[in-house]
Structure 1
Amino acid sequence: MADFLLARLVTGNSKTYEDHGPINVVICGDSVSHGAVNGFFDYHTLYHNRLRLMINKKYHFLPVNMINTAFCGTRANYADEHFERDVAAHNPDLVIVCFGLNDVNVTLEEYLTPLCSIFDKCLAHSFDCIFMTPNMLNTYVADETAEELKGYAKATASYQVEGGRMDTYMAAAIEAAKERGIPVCDCYTKWKAMAAEGVDTTALLANHINHPTQEMHKLFADSLYETIFGQAYDGEPTACHENTMYQGK
């Protein structure tokens, strides 16, 4: 299991805060991480907000700040180009990177080059980093798909089903992360497992193309928690023995 600074910090006390300061987690991603659902945005059920609430309930003395730099319609190159402004400026204790849903539209090299650059920049700055693989794309064009998006839905379904393009991109990205010692939170494989068991994963996409339903964000949050802390979330808060009253400082 990776030794994440975040996991050590949230179990700390007053001295931890005095020595370290605020705990910051930066999110780099596309529309899913941005909060897009199906024609609207939901920042409450979003996976990293769920993760924040889980951590704050379990280890409730030191708050965790989730800094969302994800932006809809972007690829890894956007986050790479804005790394100093959007990531490094916050001196994060953890960077969560999730790209691939839009990057599958370009060449594998155009996906991997900026993605690896993000990984390398995190390492150069000594920022802990997790690469989280995204959900599957749609496997067919659903009747409920917006009419103006059915052409794109046909393309994404082909990426997912015909020739295994999405599988290839995810495998290459995972390998690139592992080569650098970047821990992988592999949610894509969990979606693939559901599909193999007969689950209609397209029905789990709010826009029937690439945005998971609000409920499915729980899978990402649970998976990230397990990656960070090495165990499943049990929902039981830890005891707090800190004096929260003014002490004359």
Structure 2
Amino acid sequence: MHNIVLFGDSITAGVINGFPSPLFSRMIRDALGTYEIINRGGIGDQARTALTRLQIDVLSANPQVVVIFFGTNDCADPNTSPKDFQTALQTMIDKIGRQRCVLVTPGITSRDAQQATPLFATMNQYVQVVLKVGQANKIPTLNWQQVCQQYSSDKLLQADGIHYSKDAYRLLTNHLLPLIKTQLNRN
């Protein structure tokens, strides 16, 4: 069976009320039908730390497409710079193969979450890194932050101000599907 790997952090894992859920994976699976969706979202993970699990969680599955969706934890970590983030993304792309990658920028956090962790204010820098890496590698890239800015954070976020609501996952899936299909058609 052909498969697609969703590779990222707790947002990718579909965390609902503090626990991973199959919500995001199920939405992608329902829309594509004939593909197995393998969710490799790691709670609290960052792009540079996820490199340690790239072989076992992604490459060993021999995926047709890998959706790479990091950045929220990266921009909140004082030990991770935008350059570190860019290097980690490029390493992932080089190992996976750009023809199999789809990139997603970080999205949105509530004002309360931004005030609790001022480093979230740097999210725009990380969005720009993803866009730059996507353009340089000619990879379909979803500017998820731009999409999110069109909606109220109350509609898109759970009470913790970081993790996504079901509405946000529906919106994310709708915007992500054309990019996944583009890569599937290349393979």
- Scaled to the shorter chain, the TM-score interval is 0.7 to 0.9
Counterpart-to-counterpart distance in 2, 1:40 and 1:83: 22
Task: Tell me the equivalent position of 2:185.
Answer: none
| CA drift at 1:153 | 5.2
Identical positions, percent: 24
Counterpart-to-counterpart distance in 1, 2:136 and 2:114: 33
Alpha-carbon contact 1:24-1:93 (below 8 Å) kept: yes
Alpha-carbon contact 1:137-1:202 (below 8 Å) kept: no
RMSD, matched Cα: 2.0
Query: Greater helix share, 1 or 2?
Result: 2
Is structure 2 residue 65 aligned with structure 1 residue 113? no
Task: Tell me the equivalent position of 1:215.
Answer: 167
Supply the AA of the counterpart residue of 1:134.
P
Deviations 1:79-131 (Å, cap 9, x if unpaired)? Answer: 222211111111110000000000002321222211111111122xx651100
| CA drift at 1:42 | 2.5
Gaps of 5+ in 1: 1-21, 57-62, 142-151, 231-249
| CA drift at 1:172 | 1.7
Structure 1-normalised TM-score? 0.66
Task: Tell me the equivalent position of 2:10.
Answer: 31
Counterpart-to-counterpart distance in 1, 2:102 and 2:89: 12
Change (3 A) 1:127 1:82: farther
Match of 2:65 among 94, 99, 117: 94
Alpha-carbon contact 1:133-1:187 (below 8 Å) kept: yes
Gaps of 5+ in 2: 183-187
Change (3 A) 1:134 1:168: closer
Counterpart-to-counterpart distance in 2, 1:171 and 1:202: 24
Supply the AA of the counterpart residue of 1:119.
I
Task: Tell me the equivalent position of 1:154.
Answer: 115
Supply the AA of the counterpart residue of 2:170.
K
Counterpart-to-counterpart distance in 1, 2:26 and 2:49: 22
Structure 2-normalised TM-score? 0.86
